[in-house]
Amino acid sequence: MIQNNCYYLECVVCHKKTNEKETTSRCLSCGGPLDVIYDYEWLKFNLNPYFLKNAAPKVMKYLDFYPLSKRQEIFSLEEGGTSLHLAKRLGKIMGVNKLYIKNEGLNPTGAFKDRGSFVEINKAKELGFSTVCVASTGNMAASVSAYSAQAGLECIVFVPENTPRGKLAQCLSYGAKVIQVRGTYTEANILAEKTADKYGYYLAGDYVFRAEGQKSLGFELVEQMWFDNIDWVIIPMGMGTNFSAVWKGFDEYFKLGFIRRIPRFVAVQAAGCHSIFYESERNFAVKPVDKPQTVCSAIAVGNPLDALKVIRALKNSNGVVETADDDEALKYQQILANTEALYIEPSSSTTIVALSHLIKKGLVKKDDTVVCVATGIGLKDPSATLKVLAEPPTVEPDIKEVERVISGRLFSIIAGGVFDKEKVLFTKIPTKETLKMIVEKEFKLTLSNSDLDSIYFEVGNFIRSKGKMIKKADLQSILETVIQQKSVKTYLKILDYDIFDSKNKRPKAKMTVKLKGKKYFEESEGVGPVDAAVRALRKIIEKHDGIDFMLSDFSVEIPSTGSDATVEVVMVLQMKDGTQVVEKGVSPDIIAASIDAFVKGYNELIYQLNKRRKEN
């Protein structure tokens, strides 16, 4: 059924035409994905080519290409018009003269999803819905939440339980009602569909109207490159909606005669959820992945909803499918940031990985024009970045401390990749010479004799007392802790402790310490074993030292995997006058790491207090 004399909806599988008032997600006959089919002769007759070729790119510019009727009620967050960055330094490294990065992180919520949300949420409002329901791995949830807030619509969001916290914070800040699902994105999506059907909500997501907004990215690329023909467009792929939509943008401009050819499209999937494969030359098959595993959260999709549209785009553009593993994605994320000052999500850096593969295969030539689409800003998921970066050194406000950092080459510590962190370095206590050699090899760091002694002691303690093998992530934690450790006098020292915990009784800690040269014992209960230990230590300090301070923050990081993984505990201790210190404890035992962090923090507080008294 043709609507507004310009477009209608059609199933990609059975080609049955349908009405947007009946469905906006799937075909009611076969369950296949829908597409918007336009009357291109009507568009040719009504479009203003001069305006399209000369007006600045912006999503609102392409209203004639969207299935929106009530234009006087349309709202926008000024999405689109993102920069096309000529990556000269990176291109030189990779051997490509004309390499461009389309920086979609410059959209209002920091990702490409805003293009689709513009059309989708305007359409929801046009159709009379008051509540929007969506499932997402994060970026779409944030975008739909923002546009729903602007439209005055209620928004319910379903996300997998491991969704990056930065993306969750966005959704919650925009006023969305967020539900975390213990499962994959596919399971969250099924739940969102059932919820929308049960309560009569508008189902937003990777469906037909979102694709219409996403295709504006294709329009912009054509217009930003009027002066040159693009040979390759490389796009990260999750559900496949954005990939197929960008191709559709090029295809529509081709049908209207604005371009003479369509570039080759490359769909990049994370290796942990690689679901579209070559079956034979120019033919592709879909093999769903039940449990996607990747740090590239934005494309962690094992069963792409728009796989058929992706395959259509690949076939019609003589396209290519590539994969990128997590280590490669994180590596090229850093290379792009270091060479072009563009900080993008790991999901986006998979495009640079794919380019490196295509160059090695001889498919991309030196003089080809290549566009890599960076779909989201790196601040969306900074925790992924921190998996491959060493913690920066901390110093006192003293030039001697700066000299210690620079001369000690603390900046030389190079963290391993996601999987490299799991590399086993020692299963038994090494010799000092072996330890020194391994540190130089793995971290490019030459240790002083005193640091070597301290690190040797900690490695031995890990293996001897905890029966633990040392992985690269463990050794990195030990290095960071020992090398940054200042020569602060030990006022408080742990001599021994016993922690008792059971299911039906409150945890109890018995602590034996030496405080300013004298031995003390105290015990206490707590809400948990760490709390019990800290309470016992505070009792000793309050009775025998009288220092008034509080534990203002407490965080735990586990840099490697497994039940015997090293735990990094960071504590912030603060005095009444605002003086605060941040200290870290490292151990395979969370209680030991917590006690270590607390003791270091207390010793540093006393050091700061005594230093101030001397200065006064």
Q: What is the pLDDT confidence band of residue 234, given thresholds at 50, 70 and 90?
A: very high
Distance between CA 14 and CA 465 in Å, rounded?
66
Reported as a single tens digit per residue, the pLDDT across 403-457 is 767 776 666 665 555 567 778 899 899 999 999 999 888 887 888 888 899 899 8
* Band of residue 486 on the pLDDT scale cut at 50, 70, 90: low
How far CA 495 is from CA of 30, 278, 402, 486, 520, in Å, comes to 71, 63, 33, 21, 9
Per the listing, tokens 């929106």 go with 68
Helix 449-466 to helix 432-443 angle, to the nearest 10 degrees?
Answer: 100
Give the model confidence (pLDDT) of 214-228 as tens digits: 999 999 999 999 888
Asked if residue 151 lies in contact with residue 75, where contact means CB atoms within 8 angstroms, the answer is: yes
Identify the pLDDT of residue 2.
35
DSSP-derived 3-state class of residue 158: strand
543: Cβ contacts below 8 Å, ≥ 6 apart: 520, 522
Three-state SS for 339?
Answer: helix
Predicted pLDDT at 566:
81
Q: Is 570 helix (H, G, I), strand (E, B) or coil?
A: strand
- Is 162 in a helix, a strand, or coil? coil
Per residue in 343-387, pLDDT (tens digit) is 999 999 999 999 999 999 999 999 999 999 999 999 887 877 877
Residue 485's pLDDT band (cuts 50, 70, 90): low
Phi and psi for 76 in degrees, rounded to 5? -145, 150
At residue 220, φ and ψ (nearest 5 deg) are -65, -40
Angstrom distance (rounded) from CA 560 to CA 415: 12
Local structure of 136: helix, strand or coil: coil
Bigger pLDDT: 183 vs 252: 252
For residue 32, name the pLDDT band (cuts at 50, 70, 90).
Answer: very high
Residues ≥6 apart with Cβ < 8 Å to 600: 485, 583, 584, 585
Q: What is the amino acid identity at position 62? A: Y
Angle between helices 139-151 and 165-173 (to 10 degrees): 10
- CA gap 167, 137 in Å, rounded: 9
**Among residues of the chain, what percentage have pLDDT more than 90?**
62
Mean pLDDT taken over the chain: 89
| Terminal Cα-to-Cα distance of the chain (whole angstroms) | 85
Vertex 570: Cα angle to 582 and 164 (nearest 5): 120
Strand partners, 156: 133, 177
**Between 486 and 291, residue with greater pLDDT:** 291
- The residues facing 471 across adjacent strands are 424
Comparing 119-123, 336-340, 417-421, 467-471, the range with the smallest average pLDDT is 417-421
- What whole-number distance in Å separates Cα of residue 468 and Cα of residue 460? 10
DSSP designation for 354: H
Strand partners of residue 134: 157
Residue intervals in the chain for CATH 3.30.160.270: 492-615
Share of the chain above pLDDT 70, in %: 95
pLDDT in tens, 262-275: 999 999 999 999 99
- Residue the block writes with tokens 């399209």: 52
Specify the range with the lowest mean pLDDT, choosing from 191-195, 421-425, 531-535. Answer: 421-425
Per residue in 300-312, pLDDT (tens digit) is 899 998 999 999 9
Average pLDDT in the 59-67 region? 94
Q: What is the CATH number of domain 69-389?
A: 3.40.50.1100
CA 235 to each of CA 53, 220, 243, 334, 461: distance values in angstroms, whole numbers, following the listed order? 24, 15, 6, 18, 48
Confidence of residue 4 (pLDDT cuts 50, 70, 90): very low
Structure tokens given for 144: 């739909």
Q: What CATH fold (topology level) applies to the domain 492-615?
A: Double Stranded RNA Binding Domain (3.30.160)
**Model confidence at 82: pLDDT above 90:** yes
pLDDT-derived band at 280 (thresholds 50, 70, 90) equals confident
Least confidently predicted of 14-18, 68-72, 87-91, 203-207? 68-72
Which segment of 199-208, 213-222, 460-469 scores lowest on mean pLDDT?
A: 460-469
How far is Cα 593 from Cα 363, in angstroms, rounded to an integer? 51
3-state secondary structure of 588: coil
Average pLDDT over residues 52-77: 92
pTM over 0.75: yes
pLDDT at residue 156 is higher than 80: yes
Residue 115 pLDDT > 90: yes
- Residue 475's nearest CA partner among 431, 436, 433 is 436
C-alpha to C-alpha distance for 611 and 364, rounded to whole angstroms? 62
How large is the average pLDDT for residues 167-174? 91
pLDDT of residue 1: 32
Beta pairing partners, 320: 266
Within 8 A by CB and 6+ apart from 595, the residues are 494, 497, 530, 533, 534, 537, 585
pLDDT of the residue at 3: 41
Q: Are the C-beta atoms of residues 157 and 179 closer than 8 Å to each other?
A: yes
| CATH 3.40.50.1100 boundaries in the chain | 69-389
Residues 263 and 250 sit within 8 Å (Cβ to Cβ) = yes
Query: How wide is the angle at C-alpha 107 spanned by C-alphas 101 and 109, nearest 5°?
Result: 130
Starting at the edge strand found earlier in the chain, the sheet holding 177-181 runs 177-181, 154-160, 131-135, 202-203
54 CB contacts (<8 Å, ≥6 apart)?
none
Q: Per-residue confidence at 340, pLDDT binned at 50, 70, 90?
A: very high
d(CA 52, CA 65): 11
